[in-house]
């Protein structure tokens, strides 16, 4: 059984603006370098925790159908499960056959009540599971309509909004629960109450905005910024001082979130 990323995240949990503020960098000469360090730091933290911060798509391969934990939580949704049957044909598994637990960490696919797993052909990687994991995705806003980078939300979902050093669109706020309505592809609207009227914003806000059922933990973002600063200041493998593979302070921030699936 193995898992690979098939669609990388389209946004980082720490923006370039946030990282530069942390580094006290007020010029643009190192923007490309810092952006690369943010990605490297995020990947390092994700690998340490066994987590996904911003939304991406995974493909998991296994040899037969059975209950399975999906690596790199938090699990958002399962897009599809396909398998090769005894005749060598690829079939899509009906959603009636299985249930999904997105509340557990990690998420779980398990056999539905009074169902049986179909037989698969006896060959390696006969089963393919495509699923999405992560806390949040990027969005932009115009009037009462939000456009998200990934289609991860459904009508009735509750969400939180986060921005970097900029401002959310007027009429929207951080640390506030909103209800999703009128989802259509990558667009949706928000209301202040379940089934309430759509909120209309008067501007698009500034900076980078994220949306999701749960906010990326602040200590994760702090750990990423610590590692970015470490890599920005120490650009050689060797140093006069002892440099740990993962900064102790960053490990401390991530320690009780470390997960092995």
pLDDT tens digits for range 181-193: 999 999 999 999 9
Tell me the per-residue pLDDT of 138-154, one tens digit each, with 9 for 90 and over: 999 999 999 999 999 99
Cα 200 from Cα 187, distance rounded (Å): 14
Ordered per-residue pLDDT tens for the chain, 261 residues: 899 999 999 999 999 999 999 999 999 999 999 999 999 999 999 999 999 999 999 999 999 999 999 999 999 999 999 999 999 999 999 999 999 999 999 999 999 999 999 999 999 999 999 999 999 999 999 999 999 999 999 999 999 999 988 899 999 999 999 999 999 999 999 999 999 999 999 999 999 999 999 999 999 999 999 999 999 988 766 555 555 555 777 888 887 555 554
Which token pair is 27?
A: 């010029």
Q: Quick one: which of 47, 208, 75, 221 has its CA closest to 134? A: 75
Prediction pTM value: 0.88
The b/e string for 174-209 (b: 16+ C-beta within 10 A; e otherwise) is eeeebbbbebeeeebbbbeeeeeeebebeeebeebb
């Amino acid at each position: 059984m193995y898992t690979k990323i098939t669609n990388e995240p389209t946004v980082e949990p720490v923006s370039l603006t946030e990282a530069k503020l942390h580094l006290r960098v007020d010029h643009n000469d190192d923007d490309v370098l810092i952006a690369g360090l943010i990605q490297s730091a995020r990947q390092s933290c994700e690998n340490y925790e066994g987590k996904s911060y911003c939304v991406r798509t995974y493909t998991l391969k296994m040899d037969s159908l059975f209950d399975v934990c999906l690596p790199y939580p938090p699990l958002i949704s399962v897009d599809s499960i396909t398998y090769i049957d005894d005749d060598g044909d690829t079939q899509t598994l009906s959603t009636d056959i299985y249930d999904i637990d997105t509340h557990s960490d990690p998420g779980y696919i398990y056999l539905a009540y009074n169902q049986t797993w179909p037989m698969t052909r006896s060959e390696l990687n006969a089963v393919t599971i495509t699923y999405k994991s992560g806390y949040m995705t990027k969005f932009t806003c115009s009037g009462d309509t939000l456009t998200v980078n990934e289609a991860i939300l459904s009508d009735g979902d509750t969400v939180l909004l986060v921005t970097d050093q900029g401002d959310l669109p007027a009429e929207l706020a951080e640390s506030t629960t909103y209800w999703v309505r009128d989802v259509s592809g990558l667009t949706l609207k928000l209301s202040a109450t379940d089934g309430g009227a759509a909120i209309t914003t008067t501007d698009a806000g500034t900076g980078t905005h994220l949306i999701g059922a749960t906010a990326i933990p602040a200590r994760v973002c702090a750990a990423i910024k610590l590692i970015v600063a470490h890599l920005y200041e120490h650009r050689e493998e060797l140093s006069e001082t002892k440099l740990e593979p993962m900064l102790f302070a960053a490990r401390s921030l991530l320690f009780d979130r470390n997960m092995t699936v």
